[in-house]
Every structure is written in C-alpha cells, then in structure tokens.
Homo-oligomer: A and B are copies of this chain.
C-alpha cells in the first residue's frame, strides 16, 4: 500500500495518462531537436545551460547521467561551437560549462518553438485548465 488515495485501477489510469503525455513531450523535443541536428539529450543540455553555468558533475547530476557520458556530450557540443568550458581558478580540477553566443541563440529559438508546440498540444484546454494542469504537474514530486 504505497498511497492512501486511489485504487490500483486508478493508479494504472493515472500512470497511463502521465506516460502517454511524457512520450508525446519526448517525441516533440526529439522532433524539434532533430530539426536543428540535436539529440534529445543535447536539447536537455542546452535547456539547462540557458539558466545555469554548472560544473560537469552538476550537469551530470541534473541530467541523471554518468560523468563520462556528459564529457562526450559537452565535447560534441563544443566542437559545434554551441558550448564552451570555462576553467575555474578556485578549483583547477573543475571547469564550468557555458553557452556560446551561437549556443544561446539556438537554445532560445528552440525554446520558443517548443513552447509554441506545447501550446498547440494544449489547444483544447482553456486558460484555467492550463493553470490547473501546470499546478498539478508541479506538485508531482520527482522521486
């Protein structure tokens, strides 16, 4: 008995709904990314860097990926001029990852496209319903 409210059948229904929406969102991000030659993971990297300038370890934690995986991701993004490593004087082992100007432009444009596409997906919901949806989703705890 994991939770007080909700029968097993209702848990199933909620799970299906969340999973379906999740796949739709993933497909959307993949599609928009592909239009700019970015994988889903690269899209996530750019999205994070829009608001943060993390170390490699922080970026890996945020993505839920191994550090070595992130090394490769940042390598490839840097090779394309989207991202750069900034060395840190306080701790010379670590470096922070940051968007270049080109990377920021791409990230902002992509964010706009995605946001418009999500709005199109939610076209059947009125303003109140959208607010409710956003609130309920925000109250789902990640773990």
Q: Which residues of A contact B (CB under 8 A)?
A: 2-3, 5-6, 8, 10-15, 17-27, 29-30, 44, 47, 64, 111, 114-116, 118-127, 129-134, 136-143
Contact = CB atoms under 8 A, between A and B. Distances in A.
Contacts of A119: 2-3, 6, 11, 14-15
Give the number of copies in the complex. Answer: 2
Nearest to A123: B3
Nearest to A18: B25
Chain A binding surface, main DSSP class: helix
Contacts of A3: 119-120, 122-123
Contacts of A140: 21, 24, 121-122, 124-125
